[in-house]
Structure 1
Amino acid sequence: MKSEPKNKNAVLSGATRGMGREVSLQLAKAGYNICLLTHNLPDAQALKAAIEQIGPDCYIYPCKVEDDDEALATFQTIEDRLGSIDLVFTNMGLMPDSAGYSNKSVAELSGREWRDYLATALMGVVNSTRLAVRFMQKNEWGGYILDVAPWGETAQAKLGLYTTSRGAIRALVETVNVENSKIKAYLLQPQAGRTTIAAKVAQIVQ
């Protein structure tokens, strides 16, 4: 980062519940305006009220970030409205302990299962990250990209869908850091008994 952000505008996906909600509130406490990309409108409205009690503005944008055109249009709308995008947070992908996750071996998974899972769990993060870089390159001060990848540090049997997508995200984050000096990308991995993701985010933006 070459200088301190003049603006504090954060774009978040997967941030209306649980860990993501905690991150949204933490960023609001740090003075960031919050833009929620979500179709979970009831939870988003409740979070918006909590954020605006803290002080910053909060905006809700229904958006499928895995869709190229929809994601680009939403990012452009946010920049036009607020002037800049300074932080992007992604928290996407059906967790292995969620209903609907295919707990199968690599050989047992069909090609369709691979494509369907990676289309959302991976491509949503890829789209958000590449657009974050594109928009933050306009900022003199760069920006922060925060991608969450729990459970993805090591390979585990029958978790091929998840660990493959997380491994790709890890490589994506590393590549962003190699290619850009003023944009800082982080891979956030929560671990039991250690600092929470929200606390890590607070340390990064302080």
Structure 2
Amino acid sequence: MNATTSTKIALVTGAGSGIGRAVALGLLSDGWNVVLAGRRAEPLQALAAEAQARDQAALAVPTDVTSPDSVEALFATIERSFGRLDLLFNNAGVNAPAVAMDELPLEKWFDVLNTNVTGVYLCARAAFGLMRRQSPQGGRIINNGSISAHTPRPFTAPYTASKHAVSGLTKALALDGRAFNIVASQIDIGNALTELSERMTRGVLQANGTVAPEPMMDAKHVADAVRQIAAMPLQANVLNMTLMASTMPYVGRG
């Protein structure tokens, strides 16, 4: 699969479901060639087939973002197939059980940090390198943050720490990319309805100890926001965006 010089190339990690899938579909509808990365091959291949049935260009590449070798192979495939990368939506992430931190197995801590921080870094690092050496030089990296990049929910120390780290990485990328026409953004999402977040409609632990259902928004709104940022020229950037269900308990949380 080779792109024409006018075709934009995007990579979406965690593309097999949820927000990643919604964003991939949105970019495909805008005419991007989209590389679909994720740990599970089946949903990636199903999404690629769905896109190809609509004459859209999608390439499924099963990838473990926590593995340097797997990420290296992903970017080698992108460079071999398209010669460049214009957009990375750094979306793959995991959570941990909501329990007191002294009850959380340490492997869960490492799993969250390895995926949400090291995985984001490995993909950003590889994208930075490709965007730096390609011609024309430059590109855009959008990191999926979270409301938890600003304030925690109860018993979410690993996830909250990981998303605060993503905020620092995004700012570092935005600074270090200046010389190479590489721009970085972060979109902090609150209560987008996906297969994983559907449970929140039935009740979520609140800061006062109660459990209450929370309002949700369609994941399509996240896709639309990413599409808006992706469509901007590299001379302009949205460094940080908070996108949330309007009445969720964030403003005034606690």
TM-score class, shorter-chain normalisation, is 0.7 to 0.9
Per-residue displacement from partner, 1:111-134 (whole Å, max 9, x unpaired)?
Answer: 443223212232111111111111
Question: Aligned pair 1:196/2:195, yes or no?
Answer: no
* TM-score (norm: length of structure 1): 0.85
Q: Give how far 1:110 is off.
A: 4.6
- The 1:6–1:138 alpha-carbon spacing in structure 2 relative to 1, beyond 3 Å, is farther
Quick check: which one's strand share is greater?
A: 2
Aligned residue number for residue 160 of structure 2:
163
Higher relative contact order (CA 8 A, sep 6+): 1
Aligned residue number for residue 134 of structure 1:
129
Aligned residue number for residue 211 of structure 2:
none
- The 1:159–1:184 alpha-carbon spacing in structure 2 relative to 1, beyond 3 Å, is same
C-alpha contact (below 8 Å) 1:9/1:86 kept by paired residues = yes
Q: Give how far 1:161 is off.
A: 0.8
Aligned residue number for residue 248 of structure 2:
none
C-alpha contact (below 8 Å) 1:9/1:87 kept by paired residues = yes
Q: Give how far 1:53 is off.
A: 3.6
Per-residue displacement from partner, 1:90-147 (whole Å, max 9, x unpaired)?
Answer: 222224xxxxx32233444454432232122321111111111111112324111111
How far apart in 2 are the matches of 1:40 and 1:108?
29
How far apart in 2 are the matches of 1:144 and 1:54?
26
How far apart in 2 are the matches of 1:92 and 1:39?
9
Worse-superposed segment, 58-67 or 171-180: 58-67
Per-residue displacement from partner, 1:29-63 (whole Å, max 9, x unpaired)?
Answer: 22211111123222222211222244332111121
The amino acid of 2:131's aligned partner reads: M
Unmatched segments (≥5 aa) in structure 1: 96-100
C-alpha contact (below 8 Å) 2:37/2:60 kept by paired residues = yes
How far apart in 2 are the matches of 1:38 and 1:161?
21
Question: Aligned pair 1:145/2:170, yes or no?
Answer: no
Aligned residues: 197
Residue aligned with 2:147, SS: coil
Aligned residue number for residue 16 of structure 1:
16
Worse-superposed segment, 59-68 or 164-173: 59-68
C-alpha contact (below 8 Å) 2:87/2:230 kept by paired residues = no
Worse-superposed segment, 48-57 or 67-76: 48-57
Question: Aligned pair 1:121/2:120, yes or no?
Answer: no
C-alpha contact (below 8 Å) 1:23/1:201 kept by paired residues = yes
The amino acid of 1:200's aligned partner reads: A
RMSD: 2.2
* TM-score (norm: length of structure 2): 0.70
Unmatched segments (≥5 aa) in structure 2: 191-215, 232-254
Question: Aligned pair 1:187/2:183, yes or no?
Answer: no
The amino acid of 2:229's aligned partner reads: I
Worse-superposed segment, 37-46 or 81-90: 37-46
How far apart in 1 are the matches of 2:121 and 2:100?
25
